[in-house]
Amino acid sequence: MTDLASPRTTRDHGPRRPRRIAHFDLDSFFVAVERLRNPDLVGKPVLVGHPGGRGVVATASYEARVFGCHSAQPMSQALRLCPQAIVVPPSQGVYGEYSEQFHAVLNETSPVVESVGLDEAYVDLTGIGDPTTGARDAAAEVRRRVRGELGLPVSVCIAGSKTTAKVGSDQAKPDGLLEIPVGGDAAFLAPLAIRLLPLVGPKFGEALAKVGVRTIGDATRLDARWLARQYGKAGEALADRARGIDPSVVVAGGRARVQISRENTFMEDLTDLEEMRKVIRRHSDRVGADLRRQGKRARTISLKVRWPDFTTFARSVTPGRPVQATADIAQAAQELLDEVFRTEGRHPVRLIGVAVTNLVDDEMQLTLDDLGGASGGPPGGAAAPRVLRNEQLDRTIDELRSRFGDGSVSRGL
């Protein structure tokens, strides 16, 4: 039986209290910040994002959402739906400042805060204040402070699990507070659409609809063993999550970063292969620098390519050992691009992205070749293997950039 009790004892060391997990989410964060900077935007349909044919909506105001606008939507499509919308380019750097202040308020409320983005976080409120009203009082105080000190609306749901709290905070919008009674997670979730569960994506949702599952409650009526056989780990998780059972804990300080990536959409489709390779090398340069800065290596390198019709392909490769060098990342990504063209045909390219995943600590097992065993030379010498020469070059470039600025040294493209 899944233990729903909090992993932490209460602050008075008495009996464990029921878990009270809150999910805080700043409403239309980018739009809300832009309205603080320009009050004339209040009450009007606003789209934050870059204008132009290749622009994408970062955030849509509620006034724009009623017309069908939403985040991650092509800006051109959003403006066709809501031609009167005001397009505001993102204010780089500003959002991060507000996010830091928001998270500071959360960390003053509880020692257990898990950030999951600029504008949202899970907070463990178990054992805070009065046994009956403490969690709600703490959440209400956060909302009061965020509104008063930052001028931003924030919605929150308090529940017995992270899954229910996440679903509930969406139901609390805009600018609301919702608390699910202890033991009431399943009843709250039951009438909601199955697609509202975070683990149910479009394809999984379509598959469930074919067997009559349209609400979360419908899923609870299916045999858990059948779900596991039919859908594997996703089905096994669904059997629990649909019942409000989610033993995952709030991780103080947030989760370790599991991916580092760079991608961009081009104003005009790329058709020249060498230009595509230059983009891959630039992305790899930035991804590699981030890896080294964090003291990490990557086991997997991935490439994302998108055609003008939005057809998207993702390819990945796992080298023999974790990589960190920019050149190694770039070479792998370029080979993946060649593979896409070989299997899918050559097309103009709308977007290219490079990512590294399965990150591990910066520890590498050297081989005899690395130690000069094959040639008798010392490591790092003229005959040193390519992997070590690449990393020595990266370290030199990183040091120069840290002393003289990112633009002080450029790699040959």
The one catalytic residue among 114, 120, 179, 391: 120
Q: Given CA atoms 359, 365, 369, 370 in this order, what sign does their dihedral have? A: positive
Q: Is the dihedral of CA 76, 81, 83, 89 positive or negative?
A: negative
Interior/surface letters 37-75, b for 16+ CB within 10 angstroms, e for the rest: eeeebeeebbbbbbeeebbbbbbbbebbbebebebebbb
Q: Given phi > 0 = left and psi -120 to 50 = alpha, else beta, which region is 250?
A: beta
Three-state DSSP at 312 gives strand
Clarify whether 120 is annotated catalytic. Answer: yes
Spell out the SS3 assignment of 340-406.
Answer: HHHHHCCCCEEEEEEEEEEEEECCCCCCCCCCCCCCCCCCCCCCCCHHHHHHHHHHHHHHHHHHHCH
Amino acid making up residue 313: F
Place of tokens 């983009």: 279
Q: How is residue 198 annotated by DSSP?
A: T
C-alpha torsion angle, residues 397, 402, 405, 410 (rounded to 10): 10
The answer to whether the beta carbons of residues 22 and 139 sit under 8 Å apart is yes
List residues with catalytic annotation: 120
